[in-house]
Amino acid sequence: MVDRIADIWGTRTPYARGERWPVRVDQTLAPGVAEGDVDRWVQSACVLCSNGCGCDIAVKDGRMVGIRGRQADIVNHGRLGPKGLFGSWQGVDTGDRLTRPLIRVDGELVETDWDTAMNRIVERSRHLLDTKGPLSHGFYTTGQLFLEEYYALGIIGKAGVGTPHMDGNTRLCTATAATAMKESFGSDGQPGSYVDIDECDAMFLFGHNMAETQTVLWMRVLDRLAGPNPPRLVCVDPRETPVARAAEVHLAVRPGTNLALMNGLIRELFVNGWIDDAYIAAHTVDVDRLRDTVERWTPEAVAETCGVGADDVRRAAEIFGTSERVLSTVLQGFYQSAQATASSCQVNNLHLLRGMLGKEGSGILQMNGQPTAQNNRECGADGDLPGFRNWENPQHVQELADLWDVDPDTIPHWAPPTHVMQIFRYVELGSIEFLWISATNPAVSMPQLERIRRILDTDGLFLVVQDLYLTETARYADVVLPCAAWGEKTGTFTNVNRTVHLSDKAVEPPGEARSDLDVFLDYSRRMDFRTRSGAPLLDWAGPEDGFRAWQECTRGRPCDYTGISYERLRGGSGIPWPCNDANPDGTVRLYGDGVFPTDPDYCESYGHDLLTGAATGPVLYRATVQPGKAWLKSEDYRPPHEEPSEEYPLRYTTGRTVYQFHTRTKTGRSRALNRAAPGAWVEVSPADAEQLGIVEGDVVAVRSRRGHLEVPVRVGDIRVGTVFAPFHYGYWDDGGSEVSASAHHAANELTMTEWDPVSKQPVFKNAAVRIEKVRDCAGPSPAPTTAASRPACAGHRTAGRATGPGGGPGAVPATVGGQEGEASERFPDTAPPRVASSEERP
Amino acid sequence: MKLPVYLGLLHEAERILARSFRVVADGHGDEPDVHVILGTLAGQCDRHVEALEPVIARFGSEVEGEEEHRVTADGVEEVRTGALGLLLDLQDLYVLVHHLDVMWTMVGQAAAGGRDRELLDVVARCEPDADLQSRWLQTRMKQAAPQALLVAA
Model confidence over A322-369: pLDDT tens digits? 999 999 999 999 999 999 999 999 999 999 999 999 999 999 999 999
Q: Which residue of A has its CA nearest to B145?
A: A415
Distance from CA of A132 to the nearest CA of B (A): 6
Chain mean position to CA B61: 19
Domain ranges of chain A: 2-89, 102-174+372-558, 177-367+597-631, 644-811
φ/ψ of residue A499, rounded to 5: -85, 125
Tell me the HSE value of A606 on the side-chain side, using a 13 A CA sphere. 20
So what CATH class is A2-89?
mainly beta
Query: What is the rounded average pLDDT for all residues in chain A?
Result: 95
Q: Please report the pLDDT score of residue A668 as a whole number.
A: 97
Q: What is the mean pLDDT of residues A78-97?
A: 97
Q: A637, A653, A563: which is closest to A333 by C-alpha? A: A653
Which residue, among A683, A610, A765, has the nearest Cα to A256 in the 3D structure? A765
Sign of CA dihedral A640, A645, A648, A653: positive
Alpha carbon distance B137, B90 (integer Å): 7
Burial class (CB in 10 A: 0-12, 13-18, 19+), B81: exposed
Q: Which of A506, A501, A504, A485 is nearest to A65 (CA)?
A: A506
Residues contacting A730, CB < 8 A, separation 6+: A441, A443, A444, A472, A663, A664, A746
Nearest beta carbon to residue A426 from set B40, B132, B147:
B147
Q: Is the pLDDT of residue A801 over 50?
A: no
What pLDDT does A742 receive?
67
Q: Looking at CA atoms only, how far is residue B36 from chain A in angstroms? A: 8
Q: pLDDT (tens digit, 9 = 90+) per residue, A611-635?
A: 999 999 999 999 999 999 999 999 9
Query: Does residue A428 have a pLDDT over 90?
Result: yes
Topology adopted by domain A102-174+372-558: Rossmann fold (3.40.50)
* A755 contacts B33? CB cut-off 8 A: yes
The pLDDT of residue A797 is above 80: no
B-chain CB neighbours of A338 within 8 Å are: none
Chain B: residues touching A (Cβ < 8 Å): 30-33, 36-37, 39-41, 82-83, 132, 135-136, 138-139, 142-143, 146-147, 150-153
Q: Rounded to whole angstroms, how far apart are CA atoms A236 and A239? A: 9
Fold agreement (A2-89, A644-811) = no
What is d(CA A758, CA B116) in angstroms, rounded to the nearest whole number? 38
Nearest to A612 among B136, B143, B146 (CB): B136
Query: A650 and A769 in contact (C-beta within 8 Å)?
Result: yes
* Residues A453-471: tens digit of each pLDDT: 999 999 999 999 999 999 9
Flag whether residue A755 sits within 8 Å of chain B, measured between CB atoms: yes
**What is residue A384's three-state secondary structure?**
coil
What ipTM did this prediction achieve?
0.95
- Whether the CB of A671 is below 8 Å from some CB of chain B: the reply is no
At residue A803 the predicted structure's pLDDT band, cuts being 50, 70 and 90, is: very low
Interface membership of A133 toward B (CB under 8 Å): yes
Mean pLDDT of A736-764: 88
What's the Rg (C-alpha) of chain B? Answer: 16
Rounded distance between C-alpha atoms, residue A457 and residue A771, angstroms: 30
Q: Give the pairing type, strands A63-69 and A767-775.
A: unpaired
pLDDT for A644 equals 97
User: Which positions ≥6 away from A161 have C-beta within 8 Å?
Assistant: A125, A129, A134, A137, A527, A529
Q: Domain A644-811: give its CATH architecture.
A: Beta Barrel (2.40)
* Class of the domain covering B3-151: mainly alpha
How much of chain A, in percent, has pLDDT values that exceed 90? 95
Predicted confidence (pLDDT) per residue in A416-427, tens digit? 999 999 999 999
By DSSP bridging, strand A166-168 and strand A137-141 are parallel
Report the amino acid identity of residue A229. N
Closest CA to A338 of A360, A363, A364, A305: A305
Report which of A422, A478, A420, A425 is spatially closest to residue A454, judged by C-alpha positions: A425
CB A764 within 8 A of CB A698: no
For residue B128, the SS3 value is helix
Note whether A659 and A671 are within 8 A (CB). Answer: no
**Sign of the torsion formed by the C-alpha atoms of A98, A100, A102 and A108:** negative
Contact A135 B138 (CB under 8 A): no
Measured CA to CA, the distance from residue A605 to residue A618 in angstroms comes to 9
Contact between B132 and A415 using a beta-carbon 8 Å cutoff: no
**Domain A177-367+597-631 indexed as CATH 3.30.9.10:** no
> Is beta strand A108-111 parallel, antiparallel or unpaired with respect to A722-726?
unpaired
b (16+ CB within 10 A) / e for B21-39: bbbbbebbeebbbbbbbbe
SS3 track for A485-516: CCCCCCEEEECCCCEEEEECCCCCCCCCCECH
Is residue A280 within 8 Å of A353, Cβ to Cβ? yes
CA A625 – CA A541 distance, rounded (Å) = 44
Note the pLDDT of residue A796.
42
pLDDT band of residue A514 (cuts 50, 70, 90) is very high
- For residues A235 and A244, the answer to whether their CB atoms sit within 8 Å is yes
pLDDT, mean of residues A262-270 = 98
Contact A595, A625 (CB under 8 A): no
The pLDDT tens digits for A49-72 are: 999 999 999 999 999 999 999 999
For chain B, the average pLDDT equals 94
Instruction: Indicate if the pLDDT at residue A558 is higher than 50.
Output: yes
A281 near B CB under 8 A: no
Of the candidates A132, A416, A429, the beta carbon closest to that of B83 is on A429
Residue A363, φ and ψ in degrees, nearest 5: -160, 180
pLDDT at A97 over 50: yes
Contacts of A430 in chain B (CB under 8 A): 152-153
A617 contacts B147? CB cut-off 8 A:
no
Provide the CA A232 distance to its chain's centre, in angstroms: 26
Examine the pLDDT at A808 and tell me if it is beyond 50: no
Name the band, by pLDDT with cuts 50, 70 and 90, for residue A839.
low
Which sequence spans correspond to the domains of chain B? 3-151
